[in-house]
Amino acid sequence: MSLADLISLMPLMVLAATPIAVMLVIAFYRSHSVTVVLTGIGLAGAFISLPLTSSAETGQVSMILMMDGFARFYIGLLVAAGFAAVLLSYGYLLSYEGHCEEYYILMLLAVLGSAVIVASRHFASFFLGLEILSISLYALIAYPRLKAIGIEAALKYLVLAATSAAFLVFGMALIYAALGTMELTHTATLIFHSPAEGRSLLVMAGLIMLLVGIGFKLAVVPFHLWTPDVYQGAPAPVTAFVATVSKGSLVGLIVRFFGPVDIAAIGSLFAVFTVIAVASMIFGNILALLQNNVKRLLAYSSIAHLGYLLVAFLVGGAMGPPAVTFYLVAYFVMTLGAFGVITVLSGPQREAEQIDDYRGLFWRRPWLGGTFTAMLLSLAGIPLTVGFIGKFYLVAAGVSASLWLLVVVLVLTSGIGLFYYLRVVVAIFARPPQAPAPIAALPFAGGLTLAALTVMLVWLGLLPSPLFELIRNMIV
């Protein structure tokens, strides 16, 4: 391995070294604040090292990793989201009675696993990164060990993650048996450009199993049943992390694997993705209408947003991947902001998760009420927000490929989504209850994170072109 290869791997090496350093420090000196500072330094160092890798001989670093512009952009996005989740977690865990330091080790390992996934060019590295991510999430979801609902959520995630891993491994084995390779780009080339090999029974069975495994991780219909229970049972900052970093890494993988090719060339595969997209948009929005729990509402909403994202994904070519990636950035900003408000109003003893918990929030805490309203309206796709621009790019991509069914379903279901988001907004601006629950002081780290996310939401809604051009230059 050359020096250029080591420079290219610097972000991953920093992400791998930071949890080891944190673990060694807390073995001698336990301090919540020191641990958060070390974690933030590690994540910031990984992010800062990303531009340095562009000067090296980027591309194939080893047989299993690819550190190109695509990997750098997605790793940067995941690290930034992880940094936001760490800042939100600090205020949330201040009142936690147990040890908090191991929590940040788990979060660092989860970011490392997600980064390995998006840098993968081989099934082996993909599976290794996925297991690092999944095992960390089991513990994060159940971290407040005395909460029965958290233990239940972690067990459900454990069982379903193990099931999805089994499907993934079996699918990889079948594809390897048919094609004799586990390298992602070579596999995609054989499947989409060699009809005799790409349409064999073993390959199609392997692809179906891969889709089932990835479908569980993305929580798209019909693999979504774990999502509301895990979102509700996990601590609020962990829910934000699962909804963004965990899902974003898998989106990056499928965009790398399928994005450059014409999925419509294999009609059966295109039909499967179309059914999943339509079902996710319809059932995600309809089930969200029935929720009074905000975390469950946002869980079903996330299912719908993954369905929206699949519209541009099915376009492929030069238009699809940039639209998918821009919408993923918008989804990260909106979801982190929404769950960030929930986080700063919650604690390990009680989560602010019912709609009634937000009744009159604007009159009690105008800044939090306004921020939550902006995030919800952006999720609904209201103009002048990044959510509207993201959906505009999705619709433009769908229209360019004449995917009229998907475009119509996206527009109609977005109208349904507006209704349940407005339910929460109405509660935020309603008259406060006679004896409102007291709201703790806003943590500085959490407030700073929410302010940055709100600025990004408006800025990217008004000036999306620089980011979209950056995405096109780096991932296409």
- Count the Cβ atoms, other than its own, within 10 Å of residue 148: 9
Q: Is 46 part of any domain?
A: no
Tokens of 309: 């994202």
Beta bridge partners of 183: 122
Q: Is 233 part of any domain?
A: no
Q: Per residue in 99-117, pLDDT tens?
A: 888 999 999 999 999 999 9
d(CA 231, CA 250): 18
> What local confidence, expressed as pLDDT, does residue 319 receive?
81
> What local confidence, expressed as pLDDT, does residue 302 receive?
93
Beta bridge partners of 122: 183
Comparing C-alpha atoms, which of 245, 247, 363, 236 is closest to residue 293?
A: 236
Structural domain count, the chain: 1
Q: Burial, 135: exposed, middle or buried (Cβ in 10 Å; 0-12, 13-18, 19+)? A: middle
Q: Is 459 part of any domain?
A: yes
Dihedral angle sign, alpha carbons of residues 62, 66, 72, 76: negative
pTM over 0.85: yes
By the 8 A CB rule, do 278 and 409 touch?
Answer: yes
Cα separations (Å) of 296 from 154, 229, 289, 391? 16, 7, 10, 23
By the 8 A CB rule, do 244 and 234 touch?
Answer: no
> What local confidence, expressed as pLDDT, does residue 430 receive?
87
Cα separations (Å) of 468 from 78, 108, 250, 293, 383? 17, 28, 21, 34, 17
d(CA 379, CA 386): 9
Q: Is 29 part of any domain?
A: no
Q: Is 279 part of any domain?
A: yes
Matching residue, tokens 């692809």: 207
3-state secondary structure of 222: coil
Cα separations (Å) of 40 from 90, 255, 390, 445? 11, 29, 29, 11
φ and ψ at residue 207, rounded to 5 degrees: -60, -40
Cα separations (Å) of 217 from 130, 137, 250, 299? 10, 12, 7, 13
By the 8 A CB rule, do 458 and 320 touch?
Answer: no
Dihedral angle sign, alpha carbons of residues 378, 439, 356, 303: positive
Contacts of 294 (CB under 8 A, 6+ apart): 342, 352, 353, 354, 355, 357, 358, 424
Comparing C-alpha atoms, which of 247, 307, 314 is closest to residue 283?
A: 307
Dihedral angle sign, alpha carbons of residues 49, 55, 57, 60: positive
Return the beta strands (E) in 210-331 as ranges. none
3-state secondary structure of 84: helix
Q: Is 293 part of any domain?
A: yes
φ and ψ at residue 337, rounded to 5 degrees: -65, -45
By the 8 A CB rule, do 459 and 388 touch?
Answer: no
Angle between helices 32-53 and 101-118 (to 10 degrees): 20
By the 8 A CB rule, do 43 and 82 touch?
Answer: yes
Beta bridge partners of 120: 65
d(CA 383, CA 233): 33
> What local confidence, expressed as pLDDT, does residue 195 receive?
59
Beta strand 59-60 pairing with 66-67: antiparallel
> What local confidence, expressed as pLDDT, does residue 450 receive?
93
Q: Is 150 part of any domain?
A: no
First to last CA, the chain: 27
Q: Per residue in 178-231, pLDDT tens?
A: 888 888 877 877 777 665 555 678 888 888 898 888 888 888 988 888 889 999
> What local confidence, expressed as pLDDT, does residue 222 receive?
87
Residues of the chain with pLDDT under 70: 1, 55-60, 146, 193-199, 259-262, 264-265, 348, 434-441, 476
Domain that holds residue 306: 261-476
> What local confidence, expressed as pLDDT, does residue 206 receive?
86
268-275 contacts, C-beta under 8 A, 24 or more apart: 268/204, 269/207, 270/314, 272/208, 272/211, 273/310, 273/313, 273/314, 274/314, 274/405, 274/406
